[in-house]
Amino acid sequence: MTLTPPAALARRLREAGCVFAEDEAGLLLAAADDVAALERMVEQRAAGRPLEQILGWAEFRGLRVRVEPGVFVPRRRSSLLVALAARRLAPGDVVVDVCCGSGALGLALAAAVPGLRVYAVDNDPAAVRCARRNLDVVGGTVLQGSLLGPLPTSLRGQVSAVVAVPPYVPSAEIALMPAEARDHEPRAALDGGVDGLDVMRALAAEVGPWLAADGHVLVEVAAHQAQAVAAQLGAVGLGAGVESDDESGATAVVARRR
């Protein structure tokens, strides 16, 4: 089998607007079984489909996370949430990944803190199917529904950490997003309403009774939203602060039950 030379493939991807064309060319070449398969993948990438959906996986904190078509692609900046949560968890603790998408946060936390009891929740049936395939290997439980509602009532007062990358893009800004997100990821995973905080408000309103005595809530938000989110969590009796990582551009609000 003779595949397109890497340099020629990278040039084609670069002309289509792929910033990391050389890296992507290598990944596509490694994934292709034959010339026809490579051509299909390159055409999809040139049309804007996320590379991770084409390959079927995303790299996240050194793990290969399965990513299926139509499922939110985990961002590397979300590694900050995992690092912040991991240092607050111990084996046997219960962690809940809300708005879980592929289940990447739960999978990464299970790798970082072996022995966690991992739950993940999402409204989207496609995300639930994908997350189950990822979390089955660590014994995770994936549930379909809104926020914490699907959790068994036995977990009330038992959750050590709730982690979430909720949709936080203001509705009017969806059109300004890169096409690979805007056109190929579920809008419900991106659109947070007029100010981007609709889902965050709903989560703040219901999270308190689920937390253990020293339980935490850790959420990814845009930097300009952080103080508003901290105030929302403070209003329901949680002590909240803001963490950021300049290298990745990530911002997280971390709140603890008082």
The three-class DSSP label of residue 239 is strand
What mean pLDDT is predicted for residues 223-242? 97
For the record, the structure tokens of 33 come out as 């079984």
Distance between CA atoms of residues 174 and 236, nearest Å: 29
Count of Cβ atoms closer than 10 Å to residue 46 Cβ: 14
For the record, the structure tokens of 72 come out as 């939110």
Give the pLDDT score at 33.
86
Give the pLDDT score at 164.
98
The residue length of the chain stands at: 258
Rounded to the nearest 10 degrees, how much is the dihedral formed by the CA atoms of 8, 63, 85, 207? 90
For the record, the structure tokens of 45 come out as 């990438």
pLDDT band at 6 (very low <50, low <70, confident <90, very high): confident
Distance between CA atoms of residues 75 and 93, nearest Å: 25
The three-class DSSP label of residue 150 is coil
**How many Cα atoms within 13 Å fall on the side-chain side of residue 128?**
13
Do 134 and 65 contact (CB within 8 A), yes or no? Answer: yes
Would the pTM count as exceeding 0.85?
yes
Residue 110 has pLDDT above 80, yes or no: yes
Residue 77's closest CA among 222, 234, 206, 239?
A: 222
Angle between the 125-135 and 104-112 helix axes, to the nearest 10 degrees?
Answer: 20
Do 240 and 255 contact (CB within 8 A), yes or no? Answer: yes
* pLDDT tens, position by position, 39-94: 999 999 988 889 999 999 999 999 999 999 889 999 999 999 999 999 999 999 99
Calculate the alpha carbon distances from 29 to 51, 195, 240, 245 in Å: 12, 41, 46, 33
Give, for 52, the enclosing helix (H) or strand (E).
Answer: helix 51-55
Phi, psi of 256 (to 5 degrees): -130, 140
Alpha helices, H only, 79-124: 79-86, 104-112
* pLDDT tens, position by position, 175-195: 999 888 999 999 999 999 999
Q: Residue type at 155?
A: L
Max Cα-Cα span within the chain? 63
* pLDDT tens, position by position, 232-241: 999 999 999 9
